Amino acid sequence: MSQSKKSTIAVRYGIEADKHHGAVVPPLYLSTTYSFADFDTKRAYDYGRSGNPNRDTLAQTLAHLEGGARGIITATGMSAVHLITQLLNHDDTLVIPHDCYGGSYRLFTSLQKRGLLKLAVLDLTQPQSYKKILTIKPKLVWIETPSNPILRLTDIAAVANAAKEIGALVAADNTFLSPALQNPIKFGVDIVVHSTTKYINGHSDVVGGAVIANTAELGEELAWWANNIGITGAPFDSYLTLRGLRTLNVRLKQHQENALAVAQYLEQSPYVSQVYYPGLESHPQHALAKQQQEGFGGMVSFDIKGGLKDSAAFLTSLKQFSLAESLGGVESLICHPATMTHAGMEPQARLDAGVGDTLIRISVGIEDVQDLLDDLEQAFKKVQQGNANGSDDAKSFKLTPAHTALW
Ligand SMILES: *Cc1c(COP(=O)(O)O)cnc(C)c1O
């Protein structure tokens, strides 16, 4: 199976494994407990927290797709992130990027405040940070590329090489591209983390996470911890997530075809001051994207010309894009990071991360792309005509800064 191409693995792994009835799709096992075959003789499974066939099929499929030795399925993306921190002792240092996912940032800084680990925050998109890793001597380096929301890239091989020099482990959050478009283990990463809530499930109806280790030993240690702290994913969630995963490659193809068209449209639009998409030649790290990614993904961000009022007017004039956090579902979602996903950040830190009042992030779906482009155009025109109901006053803005779901 691991010799097959990724789209074949995603479709075929675990198919026709049912010995009883020859069910083509793996049956759903909800039982929390399994009988012993005989006195002192356990079967493959004994208890649902420790092991479940649906969870294992999903884990193995993802391990094959990432080129890893072992996968672990967790209840949420955040529990997958949390699982990795079990590898650290209180005097171990964790290096994280300054613009990592907000929930991860909150978890790491909370653990640091309680003295459970040491933290060093670096801008891993900058080559100077590779030297800093050598002097900080962390136990683990955390990578997230492309970053959220302005899609900056980290050179995975460069960071992994620096980490190897001092014997540090490297973990990469690969949620934004999915295993279809990026395999960090190929570039020297030890552990890949996913929020399967996003592209892997792909239908905005299951919250889940996954961890893939590059060696059986590391996988065993992480699986032990996942069972120990009780964060393994539910059977039905695993069943649904595997169903979503079957179409990952074909969905991603359409996501990125649409995303490129949206990015190109935005780049020539008179209403837009800046577009962020690694697939555009104008993206400063376009060459790195081509080197380490197998595609450019479905996320596009841009700055609308004007101010907060214009962002609000634009966002509330769209019909084909849902104003919502999260990403990776088949439907197009649009969000205003400054008041939504990144509202919990200090204003200055937010600006340093490139998240101003005019920044808008799109998770481009797989709809007919012309419908998406027409909708964007009519919304821009409404903003320009002043027909829309925007306001420069953040308080009367429909999305209140108190909306901090991801924080
Ligand atoms: C959503 C997300 C997470 C957290 O996953 P949940 O499934 O929401 O717990 C972690 N990392 C990234 C990059 C994400 O987008």
Question: Atom of ligand 1 at shortest distance to CA of 208?
Answer: 7
**Cα separation, 93 vs 132, whole angstroms:** 13
Question: Atom of ligand 1 at shortest distance to CA of 207?
Answer: 7
Which of 205, 208, 202 has its CA nearest to residue 59?
208
**Cα separation, 209 vs 81, whole angstroms:** 8
The proportion of the chain whose per-residue pLDDT surpasses 70, expressed as a percent, equals 94
Does the residue 20 lie in any domain?
Answer: yes
Asked if 55 and 164 sit in the same domain, the reply is: yes
The domain tally of the chain equals 2
The yes-or-no verdict on residue 401 having pLDDT over 70 is no
Dist. CA 386 → ligand 1 center (Å): 36
Query: Which residue is associated with the tokens 């759903």?
Result: 28
Reported as a pLDDT band with limits 50, 70 and 90, residue 347 is: confident
Residues with C-beta less than 6 Å from any ligand 1 atom:
76-78, 101, 103-104, 144, 148, 173, 175-176, 195, 197-198, 207, 209
34 tagged catalytic: no
**Cα separation, 272 vs 257, whole angstroms:** 20
Pocket test for ligand 1, best of 82, 148, 175, 325 (most atoms within 8 A of CB): 175
Dist. CA 83 → ligand 1 center (Å): 13
Q: What tens digit of pLDDT does each residue of 70-92 get?
A: 999 999 999 999 999 999 999 99
Asked if 302 and 209 sit in the same domain, the reply is: no
Which of 161, 162, 187 has its CA nearest to residue 172?
187
Asked if 193 and 148 sit in the same domain, the reply is: yes
Which of 165, 221, 227 has its CA nearest to residue 191?
221
Mean pLDDT to the nearest integer, 18-44: 95
For atom 1 of ligand 1, which residue has the closest CA? 195
CATH for 335: 3.90.1150.10
Question: Atom of ligand 1 at shortest distance to CA of 144?
Answer: 13
Asked if 145 and 267 sit in the same domain, the reply is: no
Specify the range with the lowest mean pLDDT, choosing from 66-70, 290-294, 397-401.
Answer: 397-401
Reported as a pLDDT band with limits 50, 70 and 90, residue 96 is: very high
3-state secondary structure of 174: coil
**Are 93 and 117 within 8 A, CB to CB?**
yes
Dist. CA 347 → ligand 1 center (Å): 22
Which of 12, 36, 35, 15 has its CA nearest to residue 27?
15
Give this prediction's pTM.
0.94
Asked if 224 and 372 sit in the same domain, the reply is: no
For atom 2 of ligand 1, which residue has the closest CA? 195
Identify the active-site residue in 12, 42, 43, 49: 49
Which of 364, 366, 395, 195 has its CA nearest to residue 279?
364
- Compute how many other C-beta atoms are within 10 angstroms of the C-beta atom of residue 209: 27
Does the residue 223 lie in any domain?
Answer: yes
Mean pLDDT to the nearest integer, 45-64: 98
Dist. CA 204 → ligand 1 center (Å): 12
Question: Atom of ligand 1 at shortest distance to CA of 196?
Answer: 7
Which residues are registered as beta bridge partners of 300? 362
Of how many residues is the chain composed? 407
Does the residue 151 lie in any domain?
Answer: yes
Dist. CA 20 → ligand 1 center (Å): 37
Which structural domain range is residue 379 located in? 248-395
Reported as a pLDDT band with limits 50, 70 and 90, residue 348 is: confident
Structure confidence at residue 99 (pLDDT)? 87
To which H or E segment does residue 44 belong? none
Sign of the alpha-carbon torsion through 168, 169, 173, 177: positive
Helices vs. strands in the chain: H and E counts, helices first: 14, 12
Q: What tens digit of pLDDT does each residue of 224-278 get?
A: 999 999 999 999 999 999 999 999 999 999 999 999 999 999 999 999 999 999 9
Dist. CA 158 → ligand 1 center (Å): 24
Structure confidence at residue 351 (pLDDT)? 86
Which residues are registered as beta bridge partners of 94? 119, 140
Sheet holding 169-173, edge to edge: 70-74, 209-213, 191-195, 169-173, 140-144, 93-97, 118-122
Question: Atom of ligand 1 at shortest distance to CA of 81?
Answer: 10
Q: How remote is the C-alpha of 130 from its chain's centroid?
A: 23
Identify the active-site residue in 152, 198, 246, 309: 198
CATH for 97: 3.40.640.10
Identify the active-site residue in 34, 101, 239, 277: 101
